[in-house]
């Protein structure tokens, strides 16, 4: 079966709107244009970061190429009070949460000990351990529930939590355990699986005989399969799942069917294990191109706006390149920043010990 069959779709690959009996988009022209801008700029961010790695400025980079709609459509569905937990590939979600691209580069250049200020962005740092953060997200969601921030109906108070992970993570114990806890407690968490068809060199079809979303049935949570390259549909299904979570109706699993157009990371060569015909097929399903066609046909996007956006992309790339080369080494004590939201006696004690070592001049 083509993974692209039987999906929720609101905008097809040719840029035409599609009717769905349940989901309807509430996004008007300016809102769609904003999503288009986000997608174009995060692609630029990704291309620039990949180039910086090739120039020896970054140790590694995990490209998001092809997954812009899945990340932007869902990331823009989040409200300020919500909280997201992501993997190493969700630069588009980090963008939506207000993380500066240069801050992202600090991680990949090795000039940051762990993370940006998670509390400020309401986004935990890049998680490299596959699936671990599905449990962290579920625990966080249970905390929100116990703190009375679910189902109050008060706008801006009720919270939802999103855990982003890939198709490969669906085979991990942690993710399956998270499903058990989330459903047992009806926690306000949305599991957002980007099925990009590959877990490094392992294809999704070797991992599952059924569509991944169907696994939700066995755990007792709704499982939704959406065209992950259709930003309008991704936004609509995520808005609904987040509303369910915030209003106390429990978790949802969203499988966003997409394709990793690039390598797994800059250390990987996908030509060793996949067919170029697949790359060609998915190029025709490009998430940015179909929205571009639609917006141009509607008169929302024109040559002037496209050239403005192209300029914005070039300045972003210039800023990333220049700032990346100047990123300072982290201060040794910054390893203690952002470990917990507030003060912690054990962390404070360790900080004092390192301060003492530094002032003794034993290390610089
Ligand atoms: C617990 C754990 N096992 C193995 C790895 C090595 N590893 C890194 S990425 C990856 C594949 C993940 O694939 P998927 O979940 O589909 O996400 P994608 O990289 O495609 O976004 C693996 C096995 C790891 N980081 N953590």
DSSP label at residue 332: G
Q: Is the pTM of this model over 0.85?
A: yes
CA atoms within 13 A on the CB side of 276: 2
The reply to whether 179 and 93 lie within a common domain is: yes
pLDDT of 364 over the 70 cut? no
Share of the chain above pLDDT 70, in %: 98
**pLDDT tens for each residue of 273-306:** 999 999 999 999 999 999 999 999 999 999 999 9
Residue nearest to atom 3 of ligand 1 (CA): 130
pLDDT of 324 over the 80 cut? yes
Q: Which atom of ligand 1 is closest in space to residue 174's alpha carbon?
A: 1
Give me Rg for the CA atoms of the chain.
21
CA of 268 to the centre of ligand 1 (A): 13
The reply to whether 131 and 276 lie within a common domain is: yes
Residue nearest to atom 11 of ligand 1 (CA): 199
- If one counts the domains in the chain, the total is 2
Element (H, E) at 83: strand 83-85
Pocket test for ligand 1, best of 168, 197, 212 (most atoms within 8 A of CB): 168
The reply to whether 340 and 287 lie within a common domain is: no
Task: Judge whether 164 counts as a catalytic residue.
Answer: no
Residue nearest to atom 7 of ligand 1 (CA): 130
Q: Which atom of ligand 1 is closest in space to residue 169's alpha carbon?
A: 15
CB 250 within 8 A of CB 223: no
Report the pLDDT averaged over residues 83-103: 98
The reply to whether 235 and 360 lie within a common domain is: no
Q: Which domain holds residue 112?
A: 29-330
Is residue 128 in a domain?
Answer: yes
> Which structure tokens are listed for 360?
């003794």
Can you tell me the distance from the alpha carbon of 12 to that of 4, in angstroms, rounded to the nearest whole number? 11
CA of 133 to the centre of ligand 1 (A): 12
The reply to whether 72 and 176 lie within a common domain is: yes
Can you tell me the distance from the alpha carbon of 7 to that of 227, in angstroms, rounded to the nearest whole number? 6
Report the pLDDT averaged over residues 167-181: 98
pLDDT of 153 over the 80 cut? yes
pLDDT of residue 51: 98
Q: Would you place residue 1 in the very low, low, confident or very high pLDDT band (cuts 50, 70, 90)? A: low
Residue nearest to atom 18 of ligand 1 (CA): 166
Q: How far is CA 228 from the centre of its chain?
A: 12
CB neighbours of residue 334 within 10 Å: 12
Q: Which atom of ligand 1 is closest in space to residue 194's alpha carbon?
A: 21
Q: Would you place residue 328 in the very low, low, confident or very high pLDDT band (cuts 50, 70, 90)? A: very high
**pLDDT tens for each residue of 228-277:** 999 999 999 999 999 999 999 999 999 999 999 999 999 999 999 999 99
DSSP label at residue 270: G
**pLDDT tens for each residue of 3-26:** 667 899 999 999 999 999 999 988
> Which structure tokens are listed for 18?
């599609």
Q: Which atom of ligand 1 is closest in space to residue 128's alpha carbon?
A: 25
Q: Is the dihedral of CA 31, 34, 38, 40 positive or negative?
A: positive
Is residue 232 in a domain?
Answer: yes
Closest CA relative to residue 7, chosen from 185, 175, 236: 236
Closest CA relative to residue 175, chosen from 67, 238, 253: 253
Q: Which atom of ligand 1 is closest in space to residue 260's alpha carbon?
A: 20
Residue nearest to atom 19 of ligand 1 (CA): 199
The reply to whether 298 and 336 lie within a common domain is: no
The reply to whether 295 and 354 lie within a common domain is: no
The reply to whether 322 and 339 lie within a common domain is: no
CA atoms within 13 A on the CB side of 20: 20
Task: Judge whether 264 counts as a catalytic residue.
Answer: yes
The reply to whether 238 and 254 lie within a common domain is: yes
Q: Which of 89, 106, 260, 285 is catalytic?
A: 260
Whole-number average pLDDT of the chain: 96
| Strands (E) located in 158-208 | 161-166, 189-195, 198-199, 202-203
The reply to whether 193 and 118 lie within a common domain is: yes
Interhelix angle 29-54/303-325, rounded to 10 degrees, is 40
CA of 46 to the centre of ligand 1 (A): 19
Can you tell me the distance from the alpha carbon of 339 to that of 277, in angstroms, rounded to the nearest whole number? 45
Task: Judge whether 235 counts as a catalytic residue.
Answer: no
pLDDT of 120 over the 80 cut? yes
pLDDT of residue 113: 83
Q: Which of 57-61, 301-305, 317-321, 334-338 shows the lowest per-residue confidence on average (mean pLDDT)?
A: 334-338
The reply to whether 126 and 213 lie within a common domain is: yes
Can you tell me the distance from the alpha carbon of 348 to that of 306, in angstroms, rounded to the nearest whole number? 51
The set of protein residues with a Cβ atom below 6 angstroms from ligand 1 is 87, 89, 128-130, 165-169, 196, 198-200, 260, 264
Q: Would you place residue 362 in the very low, low, confident or very high pLDDT band (cuts 50, 70, 90)? A: confident
Is residue 19 in a domain?
Answer: no
280 class by beta-carbon count within 10 Å (0-12 exposed, 13-18 middle, 19+ buried): exposed
CA of 174 to the centre of ligand 1 (A): 13
């Amino acid at each position: 079966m083509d993974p692209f069959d039987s999906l929720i779709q609101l905008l097809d690959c040719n840029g035409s709107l599609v009717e769905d009996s349940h989901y309807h988009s509430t996004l008007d022209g300016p809102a769609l244009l904003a999503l288009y801008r986000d997608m174009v700029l995060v692609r630029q961010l990704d291309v620039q970061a990949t180039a910086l790695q090739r120039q020896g400025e970054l140790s590694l980079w995990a490209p998001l190429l092809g997954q812009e709609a899945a990340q932007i459509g869902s990331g823009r569905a989040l409200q300020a009070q919500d909280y997201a937990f992501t993997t190493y590939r969700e630069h588009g979600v980090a963008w939506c949460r207000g993380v500066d691209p240069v801050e992202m580069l600090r991680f990949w250049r090795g000039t940051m000990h762990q993370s940006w200020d998670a509390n400020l962005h309401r986004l935990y740092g890049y998680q490299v351990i596959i699936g671990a953060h599905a449990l962290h997200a579920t625990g966080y969601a249970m905390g929100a529930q116990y703190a009375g921030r679910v189902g109050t109906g008060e706008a801006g108070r009720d919270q939802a939590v999103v855990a982003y992970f890939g198709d490969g993570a669906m085979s991990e114990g942690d993710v399956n355990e998270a499903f058990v806890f989330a459903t047992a407690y009806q926690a306000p968490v949305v599991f957002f699986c980007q099925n990009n068809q590959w877990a490094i060199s392992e294809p999704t079809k070797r991992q599952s005989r059924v569509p991944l979303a169907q696994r939700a049935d066995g755990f007792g949570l709704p499982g939704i399969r959406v065209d992950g390259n259709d930003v309008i549909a991704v936004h609509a299904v995520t808005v609904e799942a987040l509303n369910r979570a915030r209003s106390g109706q429990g978790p949802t699993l969203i499988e966003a069917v997409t394709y990793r157009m690039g390598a797994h990371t800059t250390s990987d060569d996908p030509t060793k294990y996949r067919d170029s015909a697949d790359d060609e097929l998915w190029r025709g399903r490009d998430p940015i191109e179909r929205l571009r066609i639609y917006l141009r046909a509607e008169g929302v996007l024109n040559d002037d706006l496209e050239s403005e956006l192209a300029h914005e992309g070039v300045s972003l790339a210039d800023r990333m390149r220049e700032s990346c080369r100047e990123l300072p080494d982290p201060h040794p004590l910054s390893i203690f920043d952002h470990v917990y939201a507030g003060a912690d006696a054990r962390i404070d004690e360790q900080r004092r010990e390192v301060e003492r070592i530094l002032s003794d001049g034993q290390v610089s």
